[in-house]
């Protein structure tokens, strides 16, 4: 058996999630209904499951298109601004994209009014994924640290979590070193043994390397 170089070492166990406790009998929002629908779908689906999770406008949908050589079906919507990928207004959003017998879940950017972190905490089926691509763009916000903690706590021990920084075409060597340093502190990349990639969805930098890491043809 081939050993997984990205095997996770430690789990954060001392994180207090009580902040997220919901009021009893609160009615599920449409987003939360859609998260539950996704869980049902993924439990029935056979094959690898990869989630793209990240800040609004971080380039998740663009990355999905690049990783699948423009061929996933259906194609994701790419836009300007936030909430382009929207699971909060329709009861039948596109929850899943397929390519090379892999299920890709292109999630809406978190921590917006329409897609609050609390809903991810309570209803997003983190445990259903083999791989989570955690996509970031600019400054690391508190919500990013919270979301990564959620991912690390709620995914299976055997899931691989990969950190991806888009918009790499704008970054100098110095920028990259300082970002890696920031991520090592804020996301504890070394403690969690998180693989890390710089990519440009515009010019293609880092895409082949990420495809190789994920074993996508």
Ligand X SMILES: Nc1nc2c(ncn2[C@@H]2O[C@H](COP(=O)(O)OP(=O)(O)OP(=O)(O)O)[C@@H](O)[C@H]2O)c(=O)[nH]1
Nearer to Mg ion, 60 or 66 (CB): 60
In 3D space, the residue among 37, 189, 51 whose CA is nearest the CA of residue 128 turns out to be 51
At which residue do the structure tokens 């929002």 appear?
Answer: 29
Residue 85 touches Mg ion, criterion: CB under 5 A: yes
Contact (Cβ atoms closer than 8 angstroms) between residue 85 and residue 109? yes
**Partner whose footprint covers residue 62, from ligand X, Mg ion, none (CB < 5 to 8 Å by kind):** ligand X
- Asked if 166 touches ligand X (CB under 6 A), the answer is yes
Residue 82 interacts with ligand X (CB under 6 A)? yes
**Cα torsion for 42, 46, 48, 54, to the nearest 10°?**
-10
Among 61, 68, 119, 155, binds Mg ion (CB under 5 A): 61
Interacting residue with ligand X among 57, 72, 121, 132 (CB under 6 A): 57
Binding-site size for ligand X (CB under 6 A) equals 23
Alpha-carbon span 177 to 156, nearest angstrom? 30
Burial of 142 (0-12, 13-18, 19+ CB in 10 A): exposed
Shortest distance, position 82 Cβ to ligand X, whole Å: 5
Q: Tell which positions 161-190 bind Mg ion, by CB under 5 A.
A: none
* Both tokens assigned to 168: 């790499």
Overall size of the chain counted in residues: 217
- Chain residues binding Mg ion by CB under 5 A are 60-61, 84-85
- Chain residues binding ligand X by CB under 6 A are 54, 56-62, 78-80, 82-85, 108-109, 166-167, 169, 200-202
């Amino acid at each position: 058996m081939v050993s997984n170089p990205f095997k996770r070492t430690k789990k954060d166990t001392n994180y207090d999630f009580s902040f997220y406790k919901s009021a009893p009998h609160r009615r599920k929002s449409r987003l939360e209904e859609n998260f539950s629908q996704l869980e049902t779908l993924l439990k029935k689906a056979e094959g690898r499951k990869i989630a793209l999770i990240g800040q609004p406008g971080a380039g998740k949908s663009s990355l999905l298109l690049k990783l699948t050589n423009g061929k996933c079906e259906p194609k994701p919507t790419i836009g300007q601004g936030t909430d382009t990928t929207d699971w909060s207004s329709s009861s039948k959003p596109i929850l899943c994209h397929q390519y090379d017998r892999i299920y890709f879940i292109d999630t809406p950017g978190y921590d917006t009014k329409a897609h609050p972190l609390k809903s991810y905490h309570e209803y997003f089926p983190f445990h259903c994924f083999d791989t989570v691509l955690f996509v970031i763009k600019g400054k690391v916000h508190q919500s990013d640290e919270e979301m990564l903690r959620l991912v690390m706590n709620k995914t299976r021990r055997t899931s691989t979590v990969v950190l991806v920084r888009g918009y790499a075409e704008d970054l100098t060597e110095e920028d990259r070193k300082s970002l890696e340093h920031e991520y090592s502190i804020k996301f504890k990349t070394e403690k969690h043994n998180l693989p890390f990639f710089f990519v440009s969805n515009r010019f293609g930098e880092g895409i082949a390397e990420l495809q190789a890491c994920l074993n996508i043809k």
